Amino acid sequence: MKKIWAALILIVVVFISYAPAVRNGFVWDDTALVLRDPLIRSWRLIPEGFNHFLFVDATASDFYRPVQRLIYTIDYAAFAFRPGPYHVTSLLWHGLAAIALLFFAEELLLSFGLERGRSRLMALVAALVWAIHPVQSAAVAYVSGVADPLAATFGFLGLFLLLRASLTLGPRELPLLIGSGVAFLLSALSKESGLLFPLIGMAFSLLRKNVR
């Protein structure tokens, strides 16, 4: 199976599984983060958004997620306060996160010597299970949950690039390492849990060295 078909399968499954969420409105934290956040209403306020935590109109929070606010700024510029497109954005990011997991899982299995076809199939199954597991429902069904697929997308991408860098010799290694660092940073700026991905990367690196 070609990787493009595996990626398409993930996107289709994600949209079929979570399609009912597109009919949802803004609820709970959605109202504070979208309807009442003045920092998403102009491109000129993007730099200012990096100077504030979330929930600017409520009790002070310690959630520093400027990438999440940037996504809302883009959605607001295109769709104003129509909730449907915001939910579609969440579905897209969840699908991208599943694809990033597919790439990382396949690369990881290949690094341990598994055959490519088997590695891709196992990676696809793992990504499908992760994508449709009920634990993901809140992250996809609520607009305010988009931070989770954002952090996952950049985190899995960072792990993939880090693994590629460890297997690459010559001048291509440095750009891969830089790309991995940027992806990890974006993951952390999407949600605090993104800080775990560099630790996971280091753990896998140590594991591979011990196996060798």
Residue 178: pLDDT band with limits 50, 70, 90: very high
Summarize pLDDT for 15-39 with one digit per residue, the tens.
999 999 888 889 888 988 999 899 9
d(C-alpha 141, C-alpha 84), whole Å: 11
Q: Are 122 and 105 in contact (CB under 8 A)?
A: yes
pLDDT on residue 184:
96
Q: What is the mean pLDDT of residues 66-91?
A: 94
Q: What is the mean pLDDT of residues 57-71?
A: 84
Q: Is the pTM of this model over 0.85?
A: yes
Torsion, Cα of 176, 10, 128, 164 (10° steps): -10
Residue 166: pLDDT band with limits 50, 70, 90: confident
Chain position carrying tokens 């994600």:
14
